[in-house]
Amino acid sequence: MNSKLIRAEELLPVDVEEMFGLLNNHFQGVKKDVFQNDLDNKNWVILIKDEHTNELKGFSTLLMYDTCFEGETISIVFSGDTIVDPSAWSSSALSTSWISSINKLRCEYCQGKLYWLLISGGYRTYRFLPLFWQEFYPRYDMPTPENILCLMQDLAVKRFGENYNIKTGVVRFSHPHILRDGLRGIPVERLQDPHIRFFQTVNPGHLNGDELVCFTEITEENLTRAGRRMWFSGTNAVDKIPNSILKIPASK
């Protein structure tokens, strides 16, 4: 697999069509105008293509921006639509390129502290957080600190408006992306993981496309051991991580 980070305005029409097709193949309720509007509001895209056929196998859209909170300028990376075709699940290309891309953007563009804002509509996406980050929220084993909660809520209200429920921390879109049969649901054995049980508890509507607002600070000090290996060692570290964890079908 080949991966590359490009500015959203550099996408070719064929890239956009392939991205929409890939998303539509795996989700119900995908609308072209909604997809295009979401893409228009992103400034970076990671593309994953088959190195032999050049067929698009995955992508992730990103919005990198600066904002001000309580008098401090901070940088935010917001994850948009993200999908990997099952035929490429054995590859770590997306996970590797996502981490390396964020590190590149962090070094070149950040104006202050960098935070990752994402919304998790599936347990695989949420499980990405404890795998690579020591501190993230919300989580099962401790409440979200008041200052972090206020920041999360401020960002979510500004980004999602009335679609965001400030009491539950869940976003419900008018046109949600719902995973197709075969990708939906949480296997019973995965509920032994306390992180996954927590996700199911706080986002009971995930089967219908509800998305849980999640948050972490992107710093070297906040990386887990696996995260540090991935951050500094590239693909060699990812090869040691179970593929079942690295499959990330969706995060809008």
Q: How many domains does the chain have?
A: 1
pLDDT in tens, 203-227: 999 999 999 999 999 988 998 988 8
Across the chain, mean pLDDT equals 85
What pLDDT sits at residue 239? 38
Residue 29 domain flag = no
pLDDT in tens, 231-244: 775 443 333 333 33
Residue 174 domain flag = yes
Residue 117 domain flag = yes
What pLDDT sits at residue 233? 55
Residue 97 domain flag = yes
Residue 227 domain flag = yes
Residue 27 domain flag = no
pLDDT in tens, 129-143: 998 899 999 999 999
Residue-number span of the structural domain to which 199 is assigned? 62-246
Cis omega (within 30 of 0) on the bond before 138?
yes
**Angstrom distance (rounded) from CA 77 to CA 153:** 16
Residue 180 domain flag = yes
C-alpha separations of 63 from 86, 122, 171 in Å = 25, 20, 18
Residue 179 domain flag = yes
